[in-house]
Amino acid sequence: MEQAPPDPERQLQPAPLEPLGSPDAGLGAAVGKETEGAGEESSGVDTMTHNNFWLKKIEISVSEAEKRTGRNAMNMQETYTAYLIETRSIEHTDGQSVLTDSLWRRYSEFELLRSYLLVYYPHIVVPPLPEKRAEFVWHKLSADNMDPDFVERRRIGLENFLLRIASHPLLCRDKIFYLFLTQEGNWKETVNETGFQLKADSRLKALNATFRVKNPDKRFTDLKHYSDELQSVISHLLRVRARVADRLYGVYKVHGNYGRVFSEWSAIEKEMGDGLQSAGHHMDVYASSIDDILEDEEHYADQLKEYLFYAEALRAVCRKHELMQYDLEMAAQDLASKKQQCEELATGTVRTFSLKGMTTKLFGQETPEQREARIKVLEEQINEGEQQLKSKNLEGREFVKNAWADIERFKEQKNRDLKEALISYAVMQISMCKKGIQVWTNAKECFSKM
C-alpha cells in the first residue's frame, strides 16, 4: 500500500533505458540501487548524483518555438505555438552528445503531463509550469501570448520544467514522462489510457471546500501557512518590481530626447557645437541601454515566478494530506459508531439513534433471529472497517514520511535557487551601474569640451 511507487506500470524498468545509451554496468547498478531505495531520501552527495542519472546521461532542451495554425476540437482555426524538444544522450567516454529524440509539443501537452504527475505522485512537490499568460507586466511588455519575448521566456520556462522533472529522483523514472520525450504521436492517448483523470480526487480541485480535520500533522499546517506567505510576498515583490521597472524605463528614455535637441542646437553653435553633438550621441546610447537591462531583469522575475507557482504545488501536497487525514478520521468515526451499534444490539440498550431502532419502535420488536442477523452483519462490517482503518493509517503514515522527505529536498533546492537568483540580481545591478558610469563619463567629457 505504498504511496511511493516503484510501480511497474508507471515506473521505468531498467530495460527501456538501454536504447538511450550503451549498456552501462554502472547505470544498471545505479538503477538497481534506486529501486531499492525508492521513496527514501538519503542525503549525501553520492545518492544525489545517482538519482540524477537522467541528467548525467541525457540532455533535454526545448530548443525552438514555432507558430502554427491548425484546427481545434471545434474545427475552428487557431494559432498556437509549438516547442521543439530535443533529447541527447551523452556518450560516456568522450562526452559527445548524440541526438536521440526530437519532437514538437504544445503548451497544452505540458499541462497534460503535469496533471498526470499530480495524480500519480501526490506526495511529491511537482515542478510548476511557466505562466500561461503574461502577468506582472510593465508597460513595455504586451500581455500577448504571441509576443516573441514572451514566447522566448516561456520556452526557457518549459525547458526548466522538464529539467526539474528529469533531476527529480522519482519523477525522472516515470514512463509517461519518458514517452513525452520520445513518443510524438499517440502520447495523449497513452496518457488518457492510464485513466488518471478518473483516479484524480475531485475534492483536491475543490479549492474552497474546507475539511474539518481534528488531528492534522502540524508540519503540514505550518507548511500551508508558509506557502501562503511565500505566494503573497513573491506576488507583492513582483508587482513592485514591475512598477520600478516601468519608472526606470521612463528615466532612461526621456534622456534620449536630449540627443535629438542637442543635435539640433549644435547646428547654431560654433564653439559648443561639437561637444553638444557628441554628448547627444551618448544620451542616445544611455536611453537605448535600458532595453537590454530590463530584458535581463525579466529573467530574474521568471526565477521568482517559478517559486510563486511552487507555492501552489506545496499547497497541493498539504491538501492531499488533509484529505487523507479527513478520510481516516471519517473512517474511524464510522467504525466507532458501528461498534457502538453492535454493542447496543447485543445488550439491548438503545443509546444511539438508528433507523432500525426507529422502525422497531414503530413496527414492533424484531425477533431474536433478526437481531442476530444484524449483529452478524455489523460484526463483519466492523472487521472490514478495522482492516481498512489499519491500512488507511499505514497509508497515511507512509504518505507523511515520503512527502516530508520530498519537501526537505524541495526546501534545499529552493534555498539554493533563491539565493542564486538574488545574487544574479546583484550581478545585473552591477552591470547596469558599470554601463551607467561609462556613458556618463563619456558624456561628461563631451560637456567639458564644449
Partner 1 sequence: MEGERRASQARSSGLPAGGADGESPGGGAPFPGSSGSSALLQTEVLDLDEDEDDLEVFSKDASLMDMNSFSPVMPTSPLSMINQIKFEDEPDLKDLFITVDEPESHVTTIETFITYRIITKTSRGEFDSSEFEVRRRYQDFLWLKGKLEEAHPTLIIPPLPEKFIVKGMVERFNDDFIETRRKALHKFLNRIADHPTLTFNEDFKIFLTAQAWELSSHKKQGPGLLSRMGQTVRAVASSMRGVKNRPEEFMEMNNFIELFSQKINLIDKISQRIYKEEREYFDEMKEYGPIHILWSASEEDLVDTLKDVASCIDRCCKATEKRMSGLSEALLPVVHEYVLYSEMLMGVMKRRDQIQAELDSKVEALTYKKADTDLLPEEIGKLEDKVECANNALKADWERWKQNMQNDIKLAFTDMAEENIHYYEQCLATWESFLTSQTNLHLEEASEDKP
Contact status: 280 vs partner 1 (CB under 8 A): no
Contact status: 330 vs partner 1 (CB under 8 A): no
Contact status: 237 vs partner 1 (CB under 8 A): yes
Number of residues that bind partner 1 (CB under 8 A): 50
| Cβ neighbours of 157 (radius 10 Å) | 21
Q: Which among 170-178, 197-205, 254-262, 392-400 is the span making contact with partner 1, rule CB under 8 A?
A: 254-262
Contact status: 391 vs partner 1 (CB under 8 A): no
Phi, psi dihedral angles at 65 (to 5 degrees): -130, 140
Contact status: 265 vs partner 1 (CB under 8 A): yes
Contact status: 300 vs partner 1 (CB under 8 A): no
Instruction: Pick the closest to residue 417 from 307, 313, 312, 314 (CA basis).
Output: 307
Of 12 and 443, CB closest to partner 1 = 443
Distance CA 192, CA 180 (A): 13
Residue 174 carries which DSSP code?
B
Residue 324 carries which DSSP code?
H
Task: Decide if 100 contacts 16 (C-beta within 8 A).
Answer: no
Distance CA 366, CA 316 (A): 50
Contact status: 377 vs partner 1 (CB under 8 A): no
Residues 393-422 touching partner 1, rule: CB under 8 A, are 411, 415, 418-419, 422
Contact status: 436 vs partner 1 (CB under 8 A): yes
Residues 73-112 touching partner 1, rule: CB under 8 A, are none
Q: CB 243 → partner 1: shortest distance, Å? A: 5
Of 256 and 357, CB closest to partner 1 = 256
Q: Given phi > 0 = left and psi -120 to 50 = alpha, else beta, which region is 62?
A: beta
Please list the helix, strand and coil fractions of the chain in percent, rounded to the nearest 5, in that order: 70, 10, 25
Distance CA 315, CA 205 (A): 11
Residues in touch with partner 1 (CB under 8 A): 226, 229-230, 233-234, 236-237, 240-241, 243-244, 247-248, 250-251, 254-255, 257-258, 261, 264-265, 267-268, 271-272, 275, 279, 411, 415, 418-419, 422-423, 425-427, 429-430, 433-434, 436-437, 440-441, 443-444, 447-448, 450
